[in-house]
A and B are shown apart, each in its own frame.
Chain A
Amino acid sequence: MAKTFTKSKLRDMASGYTFMSPVIIILGCFLLLPIAYAIFLSFHKVNLLGTVSYKFTGTANFERMLDDPRLWIALRNTAKYALIVVPSQTILALLLASILNMKLRYRNFFRIAFYLPTVTSSAVLVLIFMWIYNSNGLLNYLLELVGLPTYNWLGDPSVALLGIMIMNVWSTAPLFMVIYLAALQDIPENLYEAADIDGANAWHKFWRITVPQLKPVTFYVIVMGIIGTFQLFDQSYIFSAGSGGPNNATLTMVLLIYQYAFKNLDMGYASALAFLLAVVIMLITVVQRLIFREERLN
C-alpha cells in the first residue's frame, strides 16, 4: 500500500513538472532573468560596442535623474495627461455603463459598437486620428463649423498632447465601461427595491446606491488608468515619429526610456529609469490590491 502511494506521488510530481516545464523555461528566460538583469544594468554603465561590457557605477544612474531636464518634462506631461484623461475616461465609462445597464432595446448593439476602438491597433488609431487632426482635416472643419478656433493639432506644442489625450479617452473608456457594466450587474437588486419603497427617485438611487456600491471598481478603474498613463508609448511614438515633439510636448516616460536605450545606446541609464518606473507602478498596484481586498471583506 505504502509503495503504490509513493509511486503515484512520484508520478504526479513527474507529470506536474512536465506540464509546467514550457512555462518555467519561457518565463524563466524571458521574465525572471530579465528582471534580475534589469536591476544589474541599473547600477552599471553599459558599453555596447564590440563585445558588451559593464562598468559598475553605483547609484550614478539614479543620481543623474535629478538633473535630467527631459525626465522632468516627461513626468510633467504624464501628470498633465493623467489629470485630464483618468477622470474623463472614468466618468465617461460609468455614464455609458449606467445607461447600457438599463433594460433598453439594442443595448447589445451599442455595447459591441462602443467597444470597437479597444480592439483596433494603436498604430492604426494614431494614423486615423492624425488624418482627422491634420490642418485641413475633419476636426478643424467641424470646429470651424460651430465657430470654434482651429489648431495645427500635429505641430502646435500647446495642443499636441491634448490630441493624444482625446484619442486615448475615446479608445480606453469602452474597456472600463465593460468592467463597470459587469460590476453594475452584481449590485443586489433588493437594495434598489428597498429604496423604491422609501420613495427614492432614480437620481437618488444612482448617488446613494450605485456610486457607493461601485467604489472598489471605480478605484480599480482609476488605478488602471493611472498605470496606463505611465505606460503610454505607441501613441506618442507614432504621433511624433519617435521624437516626443513638437518641442517635447508628447514625450512620455516609456518613450524617454526607449530613446535613451535605442537612440543614445545608454542602456544603463535607460534601465535605471525603467526600474524606477516599474517600482512606482508596482507600488500603485500593491496599494490598490490591499485596499481592494479590505473593501471586499467589509
Chain B
Amino acid sequence: MRAIDRFKPLFYVLLSVYALITFVPFLWALSASFKSLPEIVSGGIHLIPKHFTLDNYRTIFRQEPLFGRWFLNSAIIALSVTGFNLIFNSMAGYALARIKFPGSSLMFYSILAMIMIPGQLTIIPSYLIIKELGWLNSYQAIIVPMAAQATYIFMMRQFFINFPKELEEASELDGLGKFGLFFKVVLPLAKPALAAQTIFIFMGAWNEFLKPLMLMSEKTMFTLSVGLNTFKGQYISFWNYIMAASIIMTIPALLIYIFFNRFFVQGITFTGTK
C-alpha cells in the first residue's frame, strides 16, 4: 500500500499524459474547424483560432448540398438498424432462454457458431444477393441484412436465462399470452441489457463504412462516413472544411457515449469475456 502512495504522483502524471494524447487529435480537429483556410495554410501551431469563424460549417452545407442528406441517411439507417435489433434479438434471446421447442438447442449452437464467422466472408455474396433483389442504392440494402446480429442474440439469451421465473409465472396466471408477457412484462425489465445493445448497435451502424461504400453508388444515398470520404477527395487540402465535416459526424456518437458510458463498460466486459 505504501509503495503505491509513494508512486501516486507518477501515476497521475502518466494518466494525464495519456489523456492529453487522447484529446489532442480531437482538439486539433476542432480547432481547425473554426479556423479560416489562410490561417491553416500559413502554418503556426496554435490551438485557439486567431480569428474564430463558423464559415467552415456554413460552407460545407452550402457547397455540398448533399451533406444534410448524408446526415439524414446515416440517421435513418442507424436508428432503424438499432430498432430492429432491439426487438428481434430480444425476441430470439427470450425464446432460446425460456421457451422449450424442438430445434431450440440446434438454433442456439448455430448462433454461437455464427458469432465466429468473420464478416469478410459474406461481403461479396451479400452484395450479389442484394443486387439480385434490386436493393442497391436503397435503405433496405443496409438495414435488412443488419437487422439481427448473432452476438446480441446470445447476449440477450444470457440475460434472460438469469431472469426471475416467478414474474412470468405470476403474469401467466393473469392470462397474458407469451406475446403480452414478453412485451408488457419482460421487455421493460430488460432495460440495462437493451441500453448496452442500443449503444453498440447504433455506433456500429452509424460508423459503418464498407457496406455503404459497396452498396450505395448514387451520391444521394451515401451515408456520412462514405460522403466524408468523397468530400475529402473533392476538397483535398481544405482541411478546415474536412475537419468541420468530421466534427459534425462525431457529435451524435459522442453525445450517446457521454450519456450512456456506464452501459458501455457492461457491454464490453460482456462481449469481451463471453
Instruction: Give me the interface of A with B, judged by CB distance under 8 Å.
Output: 11-13, 15-20, 22-24, 26-27, 29-35, 37-38, 41, 52, 96, 99-100, 102, 104, 106, 110-117, 119-125, 127-132, 134, 136, 138, 141, 170, 174-175, 178-179, 182-183, 201-202, 217, 220, 227, 230-231, 233-234, 237-238, 241, 253-254, 257-258, 261-262, 267, 270-271, 274-275, 277-278, 281-282, 285-286
Contact = CB atoms under 8 A, between A and B. Distances in A.
B15 interface: yes
Interface string B231-251: 011000101001100100110
B159 to A, nearest CB: 15
Contact of A179 (B28, B91, B268): B268
B125 A19 contact: no
A233 B229 CA distance: 14
A239 to B, nearest CB: 10
Interface of B: 3-4, 7-8, 11-12, 14-15, 18-19, 21-26, 28-29, 32, 41, 43, 45, 84, 87-89, 91-92, 94-96, 99-102, 104, 107, 111, 114, 116-129, 132, 144-145, 147-148, 150, 153, 177-179, 182, 203, 206-207, 209-210, 213-214, 224-226, 228-229, 232-233, 237, 239, 242-243, 246, 249-250, 253-254, 256-258, 261, 264-265, 268-269, 272-273
Given A127-B228, A127-B246, A238-B229, A117 B22 contact: yes
A278 B210 CA distance: 17
A254 B269 contact: no
Given A19-B95, A112-B261, A178-B268, A131 B122 contact: no
A34 B15 contact: no
A257 B22 contact: no
Nearest to A185: B269
A262 B91 CA distance: 36
Contacts of B111: 27
Contacts of B11: 99, 102, 104
B254 A119 contact: yes
Contacts of A32: 114
A148 B224 CA distance: 37
B107 A37 contact: no
Contact of A31 (B18, B117, B128): B117
Given A38-B122, A128-B25, A178-B268, A120 B150 contact: no
B28 A128 contact: yes
Given A116-B22, A121-B207, A104 B8 contact: yes
B209 A201 contact: no
Contacts of B121: 34-35, 38, 274-275, 277-278
Nearest to A120: B250
Nearest to A260: B124
Contacts of A112: 258, 261
B18 A27 contact: no
Interface centre among B8, B104, B121 (most CB of A within 10 A): B121
Nearest to B14: A99
A182 B100 contact: no
A110 B117 contact: no
Contacts of A129: 25
8 contacts: A99-B15, A110-B15, A119-B203, A130-B232, A136-B43, A179-B269, A257-B124, A261-B123
A116 B257 contact: yes
Contacts of B41: 136
A230 B94 CA distance: 34
A131 B186 CA distance: 49
Contact of A271 (B87, B124, B232, B253): B124
Given A26-B144, A104-B15, A114-B18, A138 B45 contact: yes
A29 B147 CA distance: 12
A147 B150 CA distance: 51
A34 B253 contact: no
A136 B44 CA distance: 9
Given A52-B128, A127-B242, A134-B239, A23 B153 contact: yes
Contact of A234 (B209, B224, B253): B209
Given A31-B114, A31-B122, A179-B269, A26 B145 contact: yes
Nearest to A103: B4
Contacts of A277: 118, 120-121
Contacts of B214: 258, 262
Given A127-B228, A132-B25, A233-B209, 11 more contacts: A17-B101, A19-B95, A123-B228, A138-B45, A179-B273, A202-B3, A202-B4, A237-B209, A237-B229, A262-B214, A281-B120
